[in-house]
Structure formats: structure tokens, C-alpha cells
Amino acid sequence: MDRDEITVELAAELVAEQFPQWADLAVVEVPLNGWDNTTFRLGDELSIRLPSGEGYAAAVSKEHRWLPVLAPQLPVSIPQPVAMGWPGDRYPWPWSIYRWLPGTPASQARIPNMDRFATQLAGLLNALHAADISDAPAAGPGSAHRGGPLSYYDDEEIPQALDLLADRYNNTDTLRQVWLTALSSEWQHPPVWIHGDFTGSNLLATEDGDLSAVIDFGCAAVGDPACDLTIAWTFFAETSAAQFRENLALDKNTWARARGWALWKAFVTILRAKKNDRDECADARRFGWKQDPYEVIDRVLADHADVVS
């Protein structure tokens, strides 16, 4: 079904049909929605989350299985599953009801001390990396290959993006070098939990600008943590990015792979926007970036130059 068909009316009908105890609660659109799922508020204390495509539906059972396991091991709130809906005639995939988490998406919030926020986010990642991985799902198709080798994404989109960027970056050899450097190593340690989609829109902030919650664990798995580090370029500025990095005990090769992940995200954001006649900078803002894709590329190149100099 099309994303546009996932409406307030549909969500209310599903709740009334499958969970009549909540049928009298108001269903309201949220100000910022994701791509993989459409979310609605249900009354004051609950939310409804409906996958927007078949490829995202498997994450429903994964979140119901693993979020209660991760929650007590993390220093901030994460979604708490309350009930799982089932497919029907009007909606073809499983769906969820969660506890409502207060806070404003960090991409929209006023955060007066970004260095402090970066430190808090690094603390969350450290806790996630220390969490128990027993029987946890390995990186792969179920995580959109986040946490797996970056080489999975070494496909035709990379040369297409480089060709597209040739006018802006007169010499794309350095971009290729950053990419090849990222591909040249793999995670050499036991796998750790990764979130898989660390971006400003999936982080909630308090009124004071502190990290209060992380949402959307649909890409969560265990594997290489490099993919979660792209927020150093998409969200943080120079000083807060340095603070984020300094509070994570990760080796230089992991940061090289992280630069590759950031480059890939910038590449595909630009390329896919151009192919679909969309504004690539608006797409980046929708994903919760504070930097546009070209700024991300520029900062990745600058960091790479600092490392090789």
C-alpha cells in the first residue's frame, strides 16, 4: 500500500478493531514522521507505529523482542512496546502500540550545549556497545546491512554519485580515496549492538537540551559500530564532534569506516534526490541532519586530510 494511505482514519480503525479498550482515545498525527514507519499519537500515553512498506514490517517483531532486553541496560529511555497489531484487510503488515516518549526530536530542538549533548550521546553508545548480545540478531538484511561490511554498498551508486559531483569537486580522486580507505578494514572485535539509524530525528531532547530518549530501533543488530558514528558529520559541528569522538574508545580504522558510511549517506541522499527531482538538502533535514549533504562531504574530506597529513 502507498504511504499516503496510512492515515489517522486508518490508524483509528485498526485500534478500534483490534484493541477496543483504546478505541475512545484520540489519534493524532505527529509533527515529524519517519520514512520506514508512520507514527500517530494515541491519547496522552501511547503511540501507534505502522510500517510504511513490506520491507520494514519484520522490524516490528524484532523491536517487541529486543527493546525490553535493551531498555534496562541503557542510560536513556527507548520505546516500550505495549501491544502488537496483526495484518488485516485494510492494512497488510504487523504494527505496534508503544508508550509515548516525551521530548522533541534533536534535529528540531534547541540544544544550548551541543558538547554536553555529544558527551551524553557517546555515553549511550558506550552502554549500547556493552549490552549483552546473547542470541541477538546479526547484521544483515534485517538491519538494512547496517553493522555489516560497508562493501555491501559498494555498488553502481558510488560511481554515479562521483560523476554527479565531478563539477562541484574538481578532483574526485580524494573522494574515491576516502571510500577505498573505508573499505579496506573490517571490525576486528566481538560484535556489539548497533542502533543502525543514529540521526537527529531519532534522538529526543528535553526542554533543557539534554538527551532523553532514542527511538526507531528497526535497523538494530549486532556487528560493526562504525555505521552509528556518521552523526559526527551529519549532526555535530567541529567541537561537539570532537567531544563525541573523544568519549568513544574506538580505533582509527573504525573512524575511517565511519567516514565511509557518512560519505555513502551523503552520496545517496544527493543522488536519489536528483533522480526523483527532490531537494537533497530538504531530504537531509527530513532525515534529521543539521548539515546538508555537501557540508557532510566537505567535513569528511577535511577529517580525512587531517588523518593522512
For 153-161, which contacts have Cβ atoms below 8 Å and span 24 or more sequence positions?
A: 153/264, 154/179, 154/183, 157/267, 157/268, 157/271, 158/264, 158/267, 160/271, 161/267, 161/268, 161/270, 161/271
Please state, in angstroms and rounded to a whole number, the distance separating the CA atoms of residues 108 and 103.
Answer: 11
Query: Which has the closest alpha carbon to 101: 36, 171, 41?
Result: 41
- pLDDT reading at 34 higher than 80: no
- For residue 32, pLDDT over 80 is answered with no
pLDDT of residue 3: 84
Looking at residue 309, what is its pLDDT?
A: 66
Distance CA 73, CA 22 (A): 30
Rounded-to-integer distance, Cα 68 and Cα 101, Å? 15
Tens of pLDDT along 79-117?
A: 999 999 999 989 999 999 999 999 999 988 899 999 999
pLDDT of 294 > 70? The answer is: yes
3-state secondary structure of 215: coil
pLDDT of residue 33: 74
pLDDT by residue (tens digit) across 129-176? Answer: 999 999 999 999 999 999 999 999 999 999 999 999 998 988 789 999
Q: How confident is the model at residue 308 (pLDDT cuts 50, 70, 90)?
A: confident
What does the pLDDT average to over 241-264? 97
The burial class, CB within 10 Å (0-12 / 13-18 / 19+), for 292 is buried
The pLDDT, as a whole number, for residue 203 is 96
Mean pLDDT of 188-201: 96
- CA–CA distance, 139 with 222 (Å, rounded to integer): 6
What are the structural domains of the chain?
3-101 (3.30.200.20), 105-308 (3.90.1200.10)
Separation CA 47–CA 28 (nearest Å):
9
List, as one string, the DSSP characters of 235-271. T--HHHHHHHHHTS---HHHHHHHHHHHHHHHHHHHH
Confidence of residue 35 (pLDDT cuts 50, 70, 90): confident
Evaluate whether 59 touches 51 at the Cβ level (below 8 Å).
Answer: yes
Q: Give me the phi and psi of 115, to 5 degrees please.
A: -65, -45
Lowest mean pLDDT among 66-70, 133-137, 168-172, 222-226: 168-172
pLDDT in the model for residue 77: 97
